[in-house]
Structure 1
Amino acid sequence: MSGIIRRACDRQFRPWKNGGGETAEILCHPENAGFDAFQWRISTARVASSGPFSVFPGVDRVLTVLEGGAMTLHLPGGQMVLQPGSDPFAFSGDLPCHADLHDTALLDLNVMVRRPLAARVTPAASYQDPAPTCLMRCVFALEPVAGLARHDLRELPDAPFVPQPGTLIIEIFSP
């Protein structure tokens, strides 16, 4: 499997304005775009305390808890409990969202796309068909696998690939 590898050990975490955690950007398009200009963005975040999520009008999010404790996301119309091993959870960045940590801090994977783009994050065991009109496909390692350390990300070329157990497939596409 070829493609550029974005190593977890090279990530630099930056604190949030509200002090509740810190984020490390993995990939952003266009490169170096700010929060008002990105088309899509993949990052990891260390969530240290309960609090509100930033609202991103026109942006959809997919959140996956990678390690640590659990959290409950409170959104208009319901709530969702996320913890390590939970399926990735997609929701609108337009909506106000509050996270309550259950006990300990956690690390999550956050994929954000500006509409009309869409994102899909799929555990390898559930992956079947590539997203149509895929603009970017990546593999995120949940554990060491196929030349990747834990939490490394590999950009995949347009060639066919075989999903490896212990990974997430991230796809950014035009619906």
Structure 2
Amino acid sequence: MIAIHRLADRRFAPWKNGGGQTAEIICQPPGAGIDDFAWRISTARVAASGPFSTFPGVARTLCVLEGGPMVLAFDDGRTETVTETSGPVRFSGDIGCQATLTGPALLDLNVMCRAPYGCHVGPTWSETLKQVVARYLLALADGAGLSRYDLVELDPHQPPPAAAGLCIDILEG
């Protein structure tokens, strides 16, 4: 384990478009702004339906951690329903997206990457041949010294541990 990014340390701020709140957990390079990060992991509170901000050149991966569901309607005609059990939804930050809550307010996890970076988010570690440059485990329950939604930074050069949460690999290539 390299570091623990505690839920208790997160501070929520308005979204880029002002329609919700986000709490950045980590971004690279450190101190980068919303327009110049290479990759970024954050959580967001979504309490009302509305548009998502666009992020040209950014690949986005989103999953609902609690609450919802939420229907995402993209300007290209695609729709996706995201729930606590549906797994992550991947989409381009280049296209417009309208979010419609069909249940209670929710908390989601967002991983955003600019080329040459990408990500794998899910219940297991990536099996891709791309190089893992950063590895994180999001705790989904309290235990083992962690609180729910703490993000544990792991050594990407060591074999990954058995997953006991949501696995996040940042990939290059």
- Shorter-chain TM-score above 0.5: yes
Contact 1:122–1:169 under 8 Å retained in 2: yes
Counting only pairs closer than 5 Å after superposition, residues 95-114 of structure 1 correspond to structure 2 as: 95-114=95-114
Per the alignment, residue 161 of structure 2 pairs with: 162
Per the alignment, residue 173 of structure 1 pairs with: 171
Per the alignment, residue 46 of structure 1 pairs with: 45
Q: Give the Cα–Cα distance (whole angstroms) in 2 for the partners of residues 119 and 71 of structure 1.
A: 22
Q: Give the Cα–Cα distance (whole angstroms) in 2 for the partners of residues 74 and 173 of structure 1.
A: 27
Q: Give the Cα–Cα distance (whole angstroms) in 2 for the partners of residues 113 and 128 of structure 1.
A: 16
Q: Give the Cα–Cα distance (whole angstroms) in 2 for the partners of residues 64 and 131 of structure 1.
A: 24
Structure 1 counterpart SS, 2:72: strand
Compared CA separation, residues 24 and 85, structure 1 to 2 (3 A): same
Q: CA deviation at 1:116?
A: 2.2
Q: How many residues align?
A: 171
Which TM-score applies when normalising by structure 2? 0.92
Structure 2 counterpart SS, 1:9: helix
Contact 2:27–2:39 under 8 Å retained in 1: yes
Per the alignment, residue 82 of structure 1 pairs with: 82
**1:64 aligned onto 2:39:** no
Q: State the identity %.
A: 50
Per-residue Cα deviation, 1:29-60 (whole angstroms, up to 9, x for no partner): 01111111100000000011111111111100
> 2:96 corresponds to which letter in structure 1?
P
Contact 1:131–1:173 under 8 Å retained in 2: no
**1:138 aligned onto 2:112:** no
Structure 1 counterpart SS, 2:8: helix
> 2:82 corresponds to which letter in structure 1?
L
Question: Where does the alignment leave 5 or more consecutive residues of structure 2 unmatched?
Answer: none
Compared CA separation, residues 29 and 22, structure 1 to 2 (3 A): same
Per-residue Cα deviation, 1:36-91 (whole angstroms, up to 9, x for no partner): 11000000000111111111111000001000121000011310000112211111
Q: CA deviation at 1:129?
A: 2.8
Q: CA deviation at 1:161?
A: 2.5
Q: List, as ranges, runs of 4+ consecutive aligned residues in structure 1 with deviation greater than 6 Å.
A: none
Question: Where does the alignment leave 5 or more consecutive residues of structure 1 unmatched?
Answer: none
Q: CA deviation at 1:19?
A: 4.2
